[in-house]
């Protein structure tokens, strides 16, 4: 486990996921919008470093800045013609998608289930939303692990994509994945109900959540980014 | 028959949200690397997701769960950098699908197919910016390039493609429902899971 330097409140993280995507997809090419995008591209880098994920931070930062520079620059280069359009489109797609995906990844690895439940309860969401949200956060890594196990099992049987064809391959990957995930789900249900998740009473939370200096700084950066976008 | 939503239902919704998302997002995106599959995506994605959705329906017997699934899926799709149009559509389409299922008692096959067809249409939201953001992109570059060049670009992605994709989603959902039911019978009923 990487060593953590700092971590955000779950509510700040979720707000950031939402706002970042809005900016990435709505900001155009004007000067202010460009600066806003640069600010929001940088925030996930800082958070990844805070979580001690140096390598991920480096990879993401390199990719997104390369794509962003190419997108901006290629708009001024007309002599490449059709090829330019394809490359610019690709760069634009990467530059706009990568920050959102990376931020979602950060949210999944940084938010703990207990903190998420405490955070969502603190903003008065109903249990209709809180329980599925906690299950989703808990299960995203599980599905990934199960998928890797299915992959191993299938290659041990020599069932590769080239050998069985795409349709059978999909069936052999998908069905076991669904089965094993559901089995995990059944167990989780039992465990959670046994521990009293289904009770209609208000529970005490032991997860510590709340605004810390990093949250204030992050919110400040977000407000600045949006401000520059609107003014510019 | 008034049934209230239990904690077990909610956990189920969470699990199936993840499964649906994985199928739509990960398995669906495998094809996005090849251009022709991108155009076919609206067809084969609901086919793949069919088995997950049909399995989910075997565990649903009250109103609200399909709605919740749809809204949660759309919020997560939003979090992976897709258009907010998915969420806008999900708010309307998933309760509608839920109602269709309910009218069939979450059992009748015709309602199941129709409901899944309606539910799948929210995926069209992912390509809305492809057709919408193009306008602003064209306006921006139109000032620098000659008209013939811009025309060539417009010809590559015609507007009627949007209608084709809606049709593909509908067809894909119907096929997905049947494929899903077949796979359910082949694998899950035999294993005693359903």
Residues of chain B in contact with residue A18, where contact means CB-CB under 8 angstroms, are 78-79
Which residues in chain B have Cβ-Cβ distances shorter than 8 Å to A78?
144-145
CB-based contact B17:B73 (threshold 8 Å): yes
Same domain (yes/no): A108, A128: no
Check whether A205 has a pLDDT greater than 90. no
| A104: in domain | yes
pLDDT at B100 > cutoff 90? yes
For residue A115, pLDDT over 60 is answered with yes
Q: Are residues A20 and A108 in the same domain?
A: yes
Residue A190 and residue A131 share a domain: yes
pLDDT(A80) > 90: no
Check pLDDT > 80 for residue B99. Answer: yes
> In 3D, which of A129, A127, A136 has the Cα closest to residue A197?
A127
Domain that holds residue A147: 124-194
How close B84 gets to chain A, by Cα (Å)?
8
Do the domain assignments include residue A170? yes
pLDDT of A62 over the 60 cut: yes
Of the partner residues A24, A78, A143, the one whose CB lies closest to the CB of residue B81: A24
- In the prediction, which pLDDT does A122 show? 87
Rounded to an integer, the average pLDDT of B7-11 is 89
**A189 CB contacts (<8 Å, ≥6 apart)?**
B8, B11, B12
pLDDT for A2: 58
Cα B181 to Cα B183: distance, rounded to the nearest angstrom: 5
Percent of chain A beyond pLDDT 90?
A: 26
A10 touches chain B (CB under 8 A): no
pLDDT digits over B108-133, tens only?
999 999 999 999 998 888 777 667 66
pLDDT at A61: 94
pLDDT at B176: 93
> Which pLDDT value is given to residue B4?
82
Interface contact B19-A143, CB threshold 8 A = yes
- pLDDT, position B5: 84
Give domain status of residue A118, yes or no. no
Residue A199 falls inside a structural domain? no
Residue B1, pLDDT score: 44
Higher pLDDT, A215 or B80: A215
Sort out which chain A residues have CB atoms less than 8 A from B133's CB and list them. 25
The pLDDT of residue A56: 93
Of A25, A170, A197, the CB nearest to B129: A25
Checking ipTM against 0.90, whether it exceeds it is no
- Does B24 score more than 70 pLDDT? yes
Q: How many CA atoms lie within 13 A of A151 on its CB side?
A: 6
Beta-carbon pairs below 8 A across chains A and B: 125
In a domain, A200, yes or no: no
| Range from A218-222, B133-137, B138-142, B154-158 carrying the lowest mean pLDDT | B138-142
Residues of B with Cβ-Cβ distance to A135 under 8 angstroms: 10-11, 13-15, 17-18
**A202 falls within a domain:** no
Q: Are residues A22 and A107 in the same domain?
A: yes
- What is the mean predicted confidence (pLDDT) over A96-102? 86
- A51/A85 same-domain check: yes
**Helix and strand counts by DSSP (H, E) for chain B:** 10, 0
Structure confidence at residue B3 (pLDDT): 66
Name the residue with higher pLDDT: A18 or A93.
Answer: A18
A107 & A22 share domain:
yes
Contacts of B17 in chain A (CB under 8 A): 132, 135-136
Q: Judge whether residue B96 has pLDDT over 50.
A: yes
Q: With CB atoms and an 8 Å threshold, state whether A139 touches B133.
A: no
* Number of domains making up chain A: 2
Q: What percent of chain B is modeled with pLDDT above 70?
A: 74
Lowest mean pLDDT across B71-75, B137-141, B173-177: B137-141
For residue A206, being part of any structural domain is answered with: no
Residue A205 lies in a domain: no
Summary mean pLDDT of chain A: 85
Q: How does residue B17 score in pLDDT terms, banded at 50, 70 and 90?
A: very high
Rounded distance between C-alpha atoms, residue A42 and residue A35, angstroms: 11
Residue A121 has pLDDT above 70, yes or no: yes
| Model confidence at B83: pLDDT above 80 | no
């Amino acid at each position: 486990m990487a060593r953590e330097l700092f971590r955000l409140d779950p509510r700040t993280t979720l707000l950031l996921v939402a706002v970042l995507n809005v900016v990435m997809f709505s900001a155009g090419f004007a000067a202010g919008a460009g600066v806003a995008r640069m600010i929001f591209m940088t925030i996930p880098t800082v958070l990844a470093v805070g979580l001690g994920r140096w390598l991920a931070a480096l990879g993401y930062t390199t990719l997104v800045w390369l794509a962003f520079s190419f997108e901006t620059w290629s708009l001024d280069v007309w002599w490449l013609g059709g090829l330019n359009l394809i490359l610019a489109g690709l760069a634009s797609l990467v530059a706009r998608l990568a920050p959102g995906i990376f931020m979602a990844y950060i949210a999944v690895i940084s938010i703990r289930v207990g903190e998420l439940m405490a955070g969502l309860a603190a903003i008065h969401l109903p249990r209709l939303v809180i329980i599925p949200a906690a299950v989703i956060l808990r299960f995203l890594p599980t599905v990934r692990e199960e998928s890797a196990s299915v992959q191993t099992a299938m290659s041990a049987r020599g069932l590769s994509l080239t050998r069985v064809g795409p349709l059978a391959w999909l069936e052999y990957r998908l069905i076991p994945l669904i089965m094993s995930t559901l089995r995990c789900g059944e167990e989780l249900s039992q465990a959670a109900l046994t521990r009293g998740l289904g009770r209609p009473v208000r529970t005490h939370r032991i997860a510590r959540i709340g605004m810390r200096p990093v949250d204030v700084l992050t919110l400040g950066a977000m407000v600045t980014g949006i401000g520059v976008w609107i003014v510019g | 028959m008034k049934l209230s939503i239990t904690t077990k239902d909610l956990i189920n919704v969470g699990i199936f949200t993840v499964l649906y998302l994985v199928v739509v997002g990960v398995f669906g995106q495998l094809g996005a690397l090849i251009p022709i599959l991108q155009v076919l995506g609206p067809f084969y994605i609901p086919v793949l997701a069919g088995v997950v959705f049909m399995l989910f329906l075997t565990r649903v017997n009250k109103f609200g769960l399909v709605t919740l699934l749809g809204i949660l899926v759309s919020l997560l799709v939003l979090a992976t950098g897709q258009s907010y149009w998915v969420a806008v559509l999900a708010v309307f389409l998933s309760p509608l699908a839920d109602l269709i299922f309910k009218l069939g008692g979450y059992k009748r096959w015709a309602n199941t197919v129709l409901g899944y067809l309606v539910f799948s249409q929210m995926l069209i939201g992912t390509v809305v910016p492809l057709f919408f953001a193009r306008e602003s992109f064209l306006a921006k570059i139109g000032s620098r390039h000659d008209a013939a060049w811009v025309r060539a670009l417009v010809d590559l992605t015609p507007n009627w493609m949007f209608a084709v994709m809606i049709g593909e989603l509908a067809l894909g959902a119907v096929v997905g429902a049947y494929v899903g039911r077949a796979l359910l019978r082949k694998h899950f009923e035999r294993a005693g899971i359903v």
